Amino acid sequence: MKKVPHDYYLRFIDASVYEEVLEFHSKGNFTLHKAFQHHTSLHFLDEGHLAQLTGNELVLYPDMDLTVELKLSDEHRKGLLYRNESCERFVPGELEFADVEKLVSPLLSMNTESYKRGYPSGGALYPAEVFLCSLSNECSTWPGAGKILHLLPKSRRFEVMQVETDLEKLKAAILTPPNDIGSPSLALIYVAYMPKNLFKYRYRGYRMALMEIGSIYMLVELQAKSLGLACRLWSAYTDSMLCKVLGLNPALFFPMCVHFIGRQHESY
């Protein structure tokens, strides 16, 4: 049985490890809903302190001049690999599905014989799942119009998720107001499937899944840049709402991050 059903992994997990990881993970959940918008806040820092505390590099010896300069000119750097800055505001519009295929192509196995993919995975567990949702009203080239797709990187296929997709509900779960991000065309949702993540390396699996998702989104950022597309990672959503629209059990599937893709507004 090489293609095991997803719940087969449950046989091999340690229930106490699973419970503790789930409990820890739940502490990082946001409840973003209009019913709570006047009752909750993320922090009490003022703009001045926020500006002081973010965007910094950590200097370990600030009082000593112990640095060595990098001798790379900006001109020289332009020829080297770098991503674009995150998109500030997306303009509405549909993406050609052929571009969506190119976007995820760096994640696929090089050939259908190899289990290896375009990104490394601790212990070759591959616990990170990628879901694709079109966010535009028109999706003429999208297969199974309006459907959410699940990437199968080895088979090089998309599974069509068996859920009724209501675009407005999907947007409400991912793009909770207020936000000023405009209208991204596509959302990639990076989800860790926890039974597959924890059965072998237990607690350490959690960090490996996060690193795997980081390497996946960086490949997508670079590929998006080469396709002339803009991106923004997004964590302002409520896990359970997102799982509900995807038709996934939130105790098994942890949505770690959303990646918006589209076209940048001209004024930026």
- How many residues touch ligand FMN under the rule CB under 6 A: the total is 8
Q: Which one, 167 or 233, has the nearer CB to ligand FMN?
A: 233
C-alpha distance from residue 116 to each of 125, 190, 191, 255 (Å)? 10, 18, 19, 23
* DSSP helix/strand/coil, 188: strand
Structure tokens at 206: 């959690």
Given 17, 86, 200, 265, the residue binding ligand FMN (CB under 6 A):
86
- CA–CA dist 231, 223 (Å, integer): 10
* Least separation in angstroms between CB 165 and ligand FMN: 22
* Least separation in angstroms between CB 86 and ligand FMN: 3
Q: Which residues pair with 258 in a beta bridge?
A: 189, 234
Q: Which one, 19 or 85, has the nearer CB to ligand FMN?
A: 85
- CA–CA dist 128, 213 (Å, integer): 6
Is position 190 an interface residue for ligand FMN (rule: CB under 6 A)?
no
Q: Phi first, then psi: what are they for 141, rounded to 5°?
A: -100, 0
Q: Tokens 């964590």 identify what position? A: 235
* Least separation in angstroms between CB 154 and ligand FMN: 26
C-alpha distance from residue 195 to each of 36, 200, 240, 254 (Å)? 32, 9, 17, 11
Question: How many whole angstroms from its chain centre is CA 165?
Answer: 20
- Binding window for ligand FMN (CB under 6 A); candidates: 43-51, 184-192, 204-212, 226-234: 226-234
Given 142, 234, 253, 254, the residue binding ligand FMN (CB under 6 A):
234
Given 7, 85, 96, 138, the residue binding ligand FMN (CB under 6 A):
85
Is position 236 an interface residue for ligand FMN (rule: CB under 6 A)?
yes
Between CA 31 and CA 157, with CA 193 as vertex, the angle to 5 degrees is 115
Q: Which one, 193 or 234, has the nearer CB to ligand FMN?
A: 234
For residue 257, give the nearest of 232, 223, 233 by alpha carbon. Answer: 233
Given 52, 105, 155, 235, the residue binding ligand FMN (CB under 6 A):
235
Is position 130 an interface residue for ligand FMN (rule: CB under 6 A)?
no
Q: Which one, 32 or 167, has the nearer CB to ligand FMN?
A: 32
* Least separation in angstroms between CB 140 and ligand FMN: 30
Q: Which residues bind ligand FMN (CB under 6 A)?
A: 85-86, 232-236, 257
